[in-house]
């Protein structure tokens, strides 16, 4: 959606739609990971937690954000907003962004429910984070598989 009228560039690149989607996802992951570093460093300096209590929550957060980013990219490839005049339009006036936000809220709520159930069952500490990772990683894989499934046909259907 953010490419708008320049979508023709994607069509002439000598790469498949799947490769282009993987590249966009990789850039998103790198940006998300780099943006967490200042918070992690600050948290580590102030609270001095054990490595597991720093790394595991960060991994859970990145795994959850990967599912959301993948889902959002899939939505944009299914329903691109290609005609806009202001660069903020595809982000601020696009229904895809609201659907992606709803998906993120469902994941956050689900994670909170799982954590609450785990704590009530007496599961604490790193086991809770590992449980959340065991749920997030398959969700990531499912979203990734859905992103790449029919990528070529979704790309071919785009109107310029």
Residue written as tokens 């560039």? Answer: 9
Q: What is the pLDDT along the chain (160 residues), one digit of tens a residue?
A: 556 666 767 777 889 999 999 999 999 999 999 999 999 999 999 999 999 999 999 999 999 999 999 999 999 888 887 777 777 777 777 888 899 999 999 999 999 999 999 999 999 989 999 999 999 999 999 999 999 999 998 888 775 5
State phi, psi for 157 to the nearest 5 degrees.
-80, -10
Which letter does DSSP use for residue 93 in this model?
A: S
For residue 85, the model assigns a pLDDT of 76
What pTM was estimated for this model as a whole? 0.86
For residue 2, the model assigns a pLDDT of 57
For residue 79, the model assigns a pLDDT of 85
Cβ contacts of residue 126 below 8 Å, gap of 6+?
A: 52, 53, 56
Q: Which residue blocks in 48-150 are alpha helix, DSSP H?
A: 51-78, 89-92, 95-120, 126-148
4/2 Cα distance (integer angstroms): 5
Q: Which tokens is 143 given? A: 């979203």
Give the count of beta carbons closer than 10 Å to the beta carbon of residue 44. 13
Contact between 32 and 62 under an 8 Å Cβ cutoff? The reply is: yes
Contact between 147 and 13 under an 8 Å Cβ cutoff? The reply is: no
């Amino acid at each position: 959606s953010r490419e708008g009228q320049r979508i023709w560039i994607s069509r002439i690149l000598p790469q498949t739609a799947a490769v282009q989607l993987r590249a966009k996802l990789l850039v998103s992951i790198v940006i998300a990971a780099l943006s967490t570093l200042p918070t992690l460093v600050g948290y580590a300096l102030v609270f001095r937690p054990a490595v597991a209590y720093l790394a595991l929550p960060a991994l859970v957060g990145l795994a959850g954000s990967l599912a959301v980013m993948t889902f959002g990219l899939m939505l944009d490839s299914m329903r691109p907003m290609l005609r806009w005049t202001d660069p903020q339009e595809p982000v601020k006036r696009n229904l895809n962004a609201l659907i992606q936000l709803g998906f993120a809220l469902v994941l956050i709520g689900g994670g909170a429910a799982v954590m609450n159930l785990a704590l009530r069952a007496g599961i604490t500490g790193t086991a809770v984070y590992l449980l959340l990772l065991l749920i997030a990683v398959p969700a990531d894989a499912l979203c990734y598989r859905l992103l790449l499934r029919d990528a070529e046909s979704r790309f071919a259907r785009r109107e310029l």
